[in-house]
Amino acid sequence: MAADLTGRSNTVAEATTKAPVRLLVNGQPYELLVPVHRTLLETLREDLQLTGTKHGCEVGECGMCTVLLDGEPVLSCLTLTVEVEGRTVTTVEGLERGGELHPLQKAFAQMGATQCGYCTPAMLLTAKSLLDRSPSPSEDEIREALSGVLCRCTGYIKIIAAVEMAARQMGAPDSVA
Amino acid sequence: MASARRSLNVVGKPLPRVDAWGKATGRTRYADDLSLPRMLYGRLLLSTQPHALIKRIDVSRALELEGVVAVITGRDVPVRYGIMPVGQDETALAVDKVRYAGEPVAAVAALDEDTAEEALSLIEVEYEPLRPIMSIEEALRLPEPRIHDYVPAGNIHRLASLEFGDVAQGFAEADYVREDLFFFQGNTHLPMEQHSALAYWDPAEGKLTLWSSTQTPHYVQRALAKALELPENRVRVIATPVGGGFGGKSDPFHHEICAAKLSMLTGRPVKITLTREEVFYAHRGRHPELMWVRTGVKRDGRITAMEFQAFLDGGAYSSYGPATTYYAGTFQTITYRIPHYRFQAVRVFTNKPPCGPKRGHGTPQPRYALEVHLDKLAHDLGLDPVELRLRNLTGPNEVTVNWLHITSNGLRQCIERIVEASGWREKRGRLPYGRGIGFAVSAYMCGAGLPIYYNDMPHSEVQVKVDRSGNVTAYSMAIDIGQGSDTVIATVVAEVLGLYPEDIRLVTADTDLTPIDLGSYSSRVTMMVGNAAYEAAMKARQLIFRAAARELGVPVRRLEARDRTVFDRRDPSRALPFAEAARLAEARFGLISTIGSYRPPQRLGTYKGSGVGPSPAYSYSACAVEVQCDPETGEVKVEKVWLAHDIGRPINPILVEGQIEGSVYMALGEVLMEEQAFRKGQHRAPSMLDYKSPTIKEMPPVVSILVETDEPRGPFGAKEVGQGPLLCVIPAVANAVYDALGVRIDETPITPEKVLKALDEKAKGGPGRVGPERKPDFAFREPTRVERPPGWPHYRPHEEG
């Protein structure tokens, strides 16, 4: 049983070596002291209470925990918090801008791309990353980009349609009144 | 019911789901998103043995670990429970014996997850292994060792044996008889959200509250009360939005009871979230099923008799198994007129995670067998498989040979639409080698006609409250598992009151606050909750209209509600805003709070076993699938799926399409990839990497066709869509593979290995078939003879008032 610096016997988690981390989450700066083995998923959900980020396996198989790290999708369950020192994290909570939903969020709602909704945050963030680098992707590009996120409800069809719809709207600013 | 379709305002419109915004912003709170002050984290210790006596459990070292607050074993929670009254064979933790690898044997509550995890490794369990029973054949052959000793004999859990009409006579009338064997492999729901439960015992109030990702809060409340020996009214279950259920969260589960017990022992909230591996063990998925079917037909393809036998691998516990056993044989008759029908089934116990209800509950397996069998029969007779089916269809307003009452029936329209849309007549048998098209039909119930435990109370109740702000709240125990039950309730209430779905506040799935709904299973919610919501809303509307009529000086019968306004149909300028009308109603009548209750019609059958199958209505589907097969690799690629579904009327067409597309997806996984398989007593692949399921890349285009039949018993004419469309896709794929390559894969999943094996066998002059070779040597008891409805198929029951 390890002990911390005060010599007090401690739980397994409390006894782990901790490290300071600075990160920017959804535009908000944080300075945290986290156990070195703590994942970004745990930090987001438990330390920052950003429970919009989901988990389905915690071993990198399902894609539920996808967040954007400097704009690129990563599996937060396989990312250690100490690794993201000084970097920018975007979660589903950070998609809204000034109270306005992201076009992808509107499209997912309008097209019926959410059913149980559990994969939706990961789908939205992965799709955002795609549209940021490829504003009018082909259906194959959409399939390729989203292939790491599993969904058991929708059969993916309305998810693809929603991404296409959002791409059209983002490419035609006139129609977004 | 409300079948008058005159100018519907929100029903039938492609509006967004009412929960879409919460889900698209990440604000929806699932069970594991919840936490409470001083909350402890629970974990379960799993059996490493498939079948063993527990000789000793020592938890002392775990208890000594700093941060561990409590540890429990089977002796702390010994009371048996189970979803069905006849299946009270589970305990929250194994007592003296484990029956599958992965069964929980101890539970820990600790200050954090890491400590709980560490504590598990400090618990010592000594097992005395017993021979594991791992297959249907072993369970039938080996009476010892017994997995349970409460059943009459060996490892046989349940039996069914029924005969409607006179099968011997029916076969004597046949010009041609064919029999086939099929095997349907087990598979699992794989919801993206792992099961999770948070329990809080309030010692001052003597009350337990459990938040849980469950499809059946009412049944969980009953099971918790029993297992923890608490009065039912001291247990409150709140179902949280379910992140995928598909039937897999319909049983009371170990972690729910353990979290509750640990909270009672510690006085602190306890949360247990299953790991992905544990979700595979929690299972309750598709039964592996061996099936034998024999059918006699006239030369023109008309069926004269059918025998169907099913051997179900139930896994280690009952779960819904007694019902599943009957579902193996119950619904063959709602698509086809079968003049003489014998059905026999046996469910065995094996040392595997318990099987239960997965989307389609017990009916995808027999539907697969039946539809492939009929495809073969059609080929034998030189008939188009569609034509064979058309010659045997049931119709509307008909009672089946096993006494199921069909009201609306759009199967013929579904078939016609599919034949036309898919180009069936041009494609079948005419596509180049390697490409093929397959066809199948299916049907499903709109809610089980009987509750899980016998009672004569309503199955669904809804309360509607209108307050002086004009706010409308609907209370219902229904839980949205993604199928859209919240949207259905809001849409029905909004339609009646002239509002919009987003105007309706919902309080759902809380056993303290909401009136009964039995749960999100058996495709019952639209039918039952929808009808209860309609009734409650109509009563509220009546009060509001009476108050408004007096104010406007027009008769009540001339009033209409639409666009948040109550107005005179003849002179729409005489109008009141809905909120004003609500205030007038409250001033005149007091609190506007109304109720609706729904109970399904009485079943027609009275024989033993007749409780499984009756439903207020049946939905119908037909499907064509086009595949491209690679004879070199054996790979089957689904190019396109056409699916027509008799929905009665859609409450919301986006939701209906979503259920069809999701059903097609899930069916394709089952028929081509997914298997819950075991090796040496252990689950072969309890991870998502190894349990192969389709990704976005494998999903083909789906053409969804909605057939409307205006079901007289459905709310606004609606029927189910959550489960039915899955059923016909599986055999349609198998039939398409035959059309493409001329080989029959008579067991799921249809893997490249099996396709290659069949092609290889065919090349050597064999029949080109992969599938089970013989049925088990098992003597069913003589069937109970049940009289057919008098004058069948022209029998007409007395309509209820």
In this structure, the answer to whether residues A166 and A110 fall within a common structural domain is yes
Q: What backbone phi and psi angles, to 5 degrees, belong to B449?
A: -70, -20
Q: Please, which residues have CB within 8 angstroms of residue B121's CB and are 6 or more apart in sequence? A: none
Inter-chain CB proximity A115 and B482 less than 8 Å: yes
Give me the amino acid identity at A86: G
Q: Is A96 on the interface with B (CB under 8 A)?
A: yes
With pLDDT > 70 as the criterion, what percentage of chain B qualifies? 99
In this structure, the answer to whether residues A90 and A127 fall within a common structural domain is no
In this structure, the answer to whether residues A142 and A159 fall within a common structural domain is yes
| Domain of residue A67, CATH code | 3.10.20.30
Q: How far is CA B179 from CA A19, B294, B374, B779, in A?
A: 69, 4, 10, 18
Give me the amino acid identity at B394: T
The count of other CB atoms within 10 Å of the CB of residue A134 is: 13
Q: What is the C-alpha separation between B252 and B259, in angstroms, rounded?
A: 12
Q: Is B568 on the interface with A (CB under 8 A)?
A: no
Inter-chain CB proximity A157 and B245 less than 8 Å: no
Q: What is the pLDDT of residue A175?
A: 46
Give residue limits of the domains in chain B: 20-28+458-598, 34-130+192-244+249-282, 289-450+605-786
CA nearest neighbour of B405 among B615, B647, B683? B615
Q: What is the pLDDT of residue B801?
A: 39
Q: Please, which residues have CB within 8 angstroms of residue B61's CB and are 6 or more apart in sequence? A: B122, B123, B124
Q: What backbone phi and psi angles, to 5 degrees, belong to B446?
A: -110, 70
DSSP, residue by residue, A49-113:
--TTS--S-SSSSS-TTEEEETTEEEEGGGSBGGGGTT-EEE-GGGS-BTTBPPHHHHHHHHHT-
Residue A7 covered by a domain: no
Q: Could you list the residue range(s) of the whole structural domain that residue A26 is in?
A: 16-94
In this structure, the answer to whether residues A130 and A87 fall within a common structural domain is no
In this structure, the answer to whether residues A62 and A126 fall within a common structural domain is no
B605 DSSP assignment? -
Cβ atoms of residues B418 and B644 within 8 Å: yes
- Closest approach of B242 to chain A, Cα-based (Å): 6
Query: pLDDT, tens digit, for every residue of A110-129?
Result: 999 999 999 999 999 999 99
Element (H, E) at B56: strand B52-58
CA nearest neighbour of B294 among B407, B237, B373? B373
Q: What is the pLDDT of residue B583?
A: 98
Q: What is the pLDDT of residue B799?
A: 57
Q: What is the C-alpha separation between B670 and B693, in angstroms, rounded?
A: 8
Q: Please, which residues have CB within 8 angstroms of residue A174's CB and are 6 or more apart in sequence? A: none
Binding-face residues of B in 180-209 toward A, CB within 8 A: 189-194
- Dihedral angle sign, alpha carbons of residues B524, B527, B530, B533: negative
The parts of chain B modelled with pLDDT lower than 70 are 1-6, 799-801
Q: What is the pLDDT of residue A1?
A: 34
Residue A10 covered by a domain: no
**How many domains is chain A partitioned into structurally?**
2
Q: What is the C-alpha separation between A110 and A108, in angstroms, rounded?
A: 6
Binding-face residues of B in 652-671 toward A, CB within 8 A: 654-655, 657-658, 661-666
| Domain of residue A130, CATH code | 1.10.150.120
Inter-chain CB proximity B114 and A13 less than 8 Å: yes
In this structure, the answer to whether residues A81 and A23 fall within a common structural domain is yes
Q: What is the pLDDT of residue B798?
A: 72
Q: Which of A63, A94, A125 marks a domain boundary?
A: A94
CA nearest neighbour of B754 among B774, B775, B733? B733
Architecture of domain B20-28+458-598: 2-Layer Sandwich (3.30)
Q: What is the pLDDT of residue B26?
A: 97
Q: What is the pLDDT of residue A16?
A: 79
The encoded tokens of residue B604 equal 């027609």
DSSP, residue by residue, B684-739:
S--STTTS----TTTPPPEEEEEEE---TTSGGG----SSHHHHHHHHHHHHHHHH
Inter-chain CB proximity B66 and A45 less than 8 Å: no
Q: What is the C-alpha separation between B77 and B72, in angstroms, rounded?
A: 8
Q: Is B762 on the interface with A (CB under 8 A)?
A: no
Residue A5 covered by a domain: no
Domain covering B34-130+192-244+249-282, topology = Aldehyde Oxidoreductase; domain 3 (3.90.1170)
Q: What is the pLDDT of residue A176?
A: 44
Cβ atoms of residues B142 and B776 within 8 Å: no
Inter-chain CB proximity B26 and A91 less than 8 Å: yes
In this structure, the answer to whether residues A89 and A20 fall within a common structural domain is yes
Cβ atoms of residues B191 and B245 within 8 Å: yes
Q: What is the pLDDT of residue B22?
A: 97
Q: Do domains B20-28+458-598 and B289-450+605-786 have the same CATH topology?
A: yes
The encoded tokens of residue B167 equal 């099968």
Inter-chain CB proximity B20 and A91 less than 8 Å: no
Interface residue of B23, B68, B188, B483 to substitute, partner A, most A CBs within 10 Å: B23
Interface residue of A66, A152, A159, A165 to substitute, partner B, most B CBs within 10 Å: A152
Q: B217-222 contacts: CB < 8 A, separation 24 or more? A: B217/B477, B217/B479, B217/B509, B217/B510, B217/B511, B217/B519, B218/B477, B218/B511, B218/B516, B218/B517, B218/B518, B218/B519, B219/B83, B219/B250, B219/B251, B219/B252, B219/B452, B219/B518, B219/B519, B220/B252, B220/B256, B221/B511, B222/B252, B222/B453
DSSP, residue by residue, A105-153:
HHHHHHHT--SS-SSHHHHHHHHHHHHHH-SS--HHHHHHHHTTS--SS
**What are the E-state strand segments in B340-382?**
341-348
Q: Is B692 on the interface with A (CB under 8 A)?
A: no
In this structure, the answer to whether residues A67 and A119 fall within a common structural domain is no
Query: pLDDT, tens digit, for every residue of B282-293?
Result: 999 999 999 999
B527 DSSP assignment? H
Interface residue of B15, B18, B25, B486 to substitute, partner A, most A CBs within 10 Å: B25
pLDDT at A2 over 60: no
| Residue in the block written with tokens 């995928």 | B244
Q: Which of A94, A125, A159 marks a domain boundary?
A: A94
With pLDDT > 90 as the criterion, what percentage of chain B qualifies? 98
Q: How confident is the model at residue A98 (pLDDT cuts 50, 70, 90)?
A: confident
Q: What is the C-alpha separation between B626 and B428, in angstroms, rounded?
A: 10
Residue A69 covered by a domain: yes
In this structure, the answer to whether residues A109 and A90 fall within a common structural domain is no
pLDDT at A9 over 60: no
Q: What is the pLDDT of residue A13?
A: 65
3-state class (DSSP) for residue A159? helix
- Dihedral angle sign, alpha carbons of residues B215, B221, B226, B228: positive
CA nearest neighbour of A123 among A146, A153, A103? A146
Binding-face residues of A in 108-147 toward B, CB within 8 A: 108-112, 114-121, 124, 143-144, 146-147
Inter-chain CB proximity B26 and A52 less than 8 Å: yes
- Closest approach of A52 to chain B, Cα-based (Å): 4
The encoded tokens of residue B394 equal 């049931």
Interface residue of A91, A102, A115 to substitute, partner B, most B CBs within 10 Å: A115
Closest CA in chain B for residue A117? B23
Q: What is the pLDDT of residue B6?
A: 62
CA nearest neighbour of B191 among B272, B240, B247? B247
Q: Which of A94, A114, A136 marks a domain boundary?
A: A94
Q: How far is CA B298 from CA B171, B301, B590, in A?
A: 10, 5, 68
Domain covering B289-450+605-786, topology = Aldehyde Oxidoreductase; domain 4 (3.30.365)
Inter-chain CB proximity A153 and B701 less than 8 Å: no
CA nearest neighbour of A59 among A43, A31, A78? A78
The encoded tokens of residue B65 equal 């670990």
Count of residues making up chain A? 177
Residue A135 covered by a domain: yes
Q: Please, which residues have CB within 8 angstroms of residue B557's CB and are 6 or more apart in sequence? A: none
Q: What is the pLDDT of residue A82?
A: 96
